[in-house]
Structure 1
Amino acid sequence: MPAAALLLAALTACSPGTTTPPAATTAATSQAPAETATPSAEPTDSATAPPERPDAMSTPSADGASAAANYFMSTYSYMYATGDTEPWDELSSDTCEFCARRATDVERMTDAGNETLGDAITVESAVGVEIADDEWFSATLIIDEPASQEVDEKGKLVSESDGGRYELYFALSWNAGWRVEEVDVSAAPGS
């Protein structure tokens, strides 16, 4: 199954109530949402270029949360294009079901000798919110995922996706670095 279809299938299967930490539902927002006017991880010419961590990821803040979510989606494109799950795994919490399913799918794809063809995901907007001081955060991204294809070793089409625009909601934590606790997805408003 191509990356786009897997993203939608995996994210729509996530229930936001099951993975959001309890503090996120009871704590007041400690600062106004921070919107990244220009996403911190610029699209590359190819999804096969290793993503670079934005400087904004070095702090536990709303800006840091949006940068971390944006970078995470760069690692998604990179992982599907190359089969290298290391950058994805570095940010994935052990309890993130979405994260584990995506890494498992990439392993399945590479074990079969298949590859994904398509351009990298583009982040249209990224907004971070600090939920509990220096500990729990959320981020909402609007992404555009181009059409993609999964092909086997001989170039034969295994599956394809038309792509689309999606709204992704991230639950993130900070403990001397970012962890993606869970991700939920829906069609982007106006799509």
Structure 2
Amino acid sequence: MRGAGVALGVTGLLLVGGCSEPEGTDPSPSASPSASPTASESPSDSPSPSPSPSETSDVPAAAREQTPEGAEAFASYYMDVLNQAMTSAEPDGPEALSADSCRFCGRALETVRQLSSDNQVYEEAPARLENLRPGGDAPQDQVFIRARLVQVGANVLDDDGEVVSTDQSGTAEVLVGVGWTDDGWRLLDVESAS
């Protein structure tokens, strides 16, 4: 699908149809974002196998610390890497930083792959995380972070530089889960916190 389907963007993964479970399904923390995550839920089951150190060499020092502040720095860094992927249609960066079980990551990476397939890119970074703060108790080696995910209403361009669609702007309160591995943090999932 060209244009409008791809223009859901990062926040659109949560704002458009991603905030509730379809009828007849049991909500689970690793499924589509749940309506009200609790401290006992985790955004995903466990981190994926870690990539080689060369894949994480660009991670800022602050985001390599196994602390709540390091987890927040990693979540911000992940969004920067995802935005770079959206503006270049290259999924390698965020894929290396994502847990295999991360549903948000999978949907975002599928968007990046679709952009690449359609010879399209975002004109600017489509989304950002703001107001990162502790998100409650988490299992060992995981940190939950509450944040505001802001979609800026960015244009999607074709390979001729023509605008093919524009994201809807909006915000969503989210719970971001990150997990610590031998090679550092990995994004476990992003779920609606409202």
Task: Give me the TM-score of the superposition, normalised by structure 1.
Answer: 0.69
SS in 1 for 2:155: strand
SS in 1 for 2:159: coil
Shift of 1:118: 2.4
Q: Percent identity?
A: 21
Shift of 1:64: 1.3
* Map of 1:46 onto structure 2: none
- Number of matched residues? 159
- Structure 2 matches for 1:115-154, cutoff 5 A? 115-119=121-125, 121-128=127-134, 131-133=138-140, 135-154=141-160
Shift of 1:183: 0.7
Is the 1:57–1:65 contact (alpha carbons within 8 Å) kept by the matching residues of 2? yes
Paired letter, 2:138 = I
* Map of 1:25 onto structure 2: 40
Shift of 1:111: 1.5
Shift of 1:105: 1.3
SS in 1 for 2:40: helix
* Map of 1:37 onto structure 2: none
* Map of 1:180 onto structure 2: 187
Deviations 1:135-183 (A, max 9, x none): 1211122243322111222333321124233323112111221111111
Shift of 1:8: 2.9
Is the 2:29–2:41 contact (alpha carbons within 8 Å) kept by the matching residues of 1? no
Paired letter, 2:92 = E
Task: Give me the TM-score of the superposition, normalised by structure 2.
Answer: 0.68
Is the 1:65–1:128 contact (alpha carbons within 8 Å) kept by the matching residues of 2? no
Work out the CA distance in 1 between the residues paired with 2:98 and 2:162.
32
- Structure 2 matches for 1:26-45, cutoff 5 A? none
1:58 matched to 2:69? The reply is: no
Shift of 1:2: 7.8
Shift of 1:106: 1.0
Work out the CA distance in 2 between the residues paired with 1:158 and 1:10.
19
- Structure 2 matches for 1:148-163, cutoff 5 A? 148-163=154-169
Shift of 1:122: 4.1
- Larger strand proportion of the pair: 1
Work out the CA distance in 2 between the residues paired with 1:182 and 1:26.
12
Work out the CA distance in 1 between the residues paired with 2:88 and 2:70.
26
* Map of 1:111 onto structure 2: 117
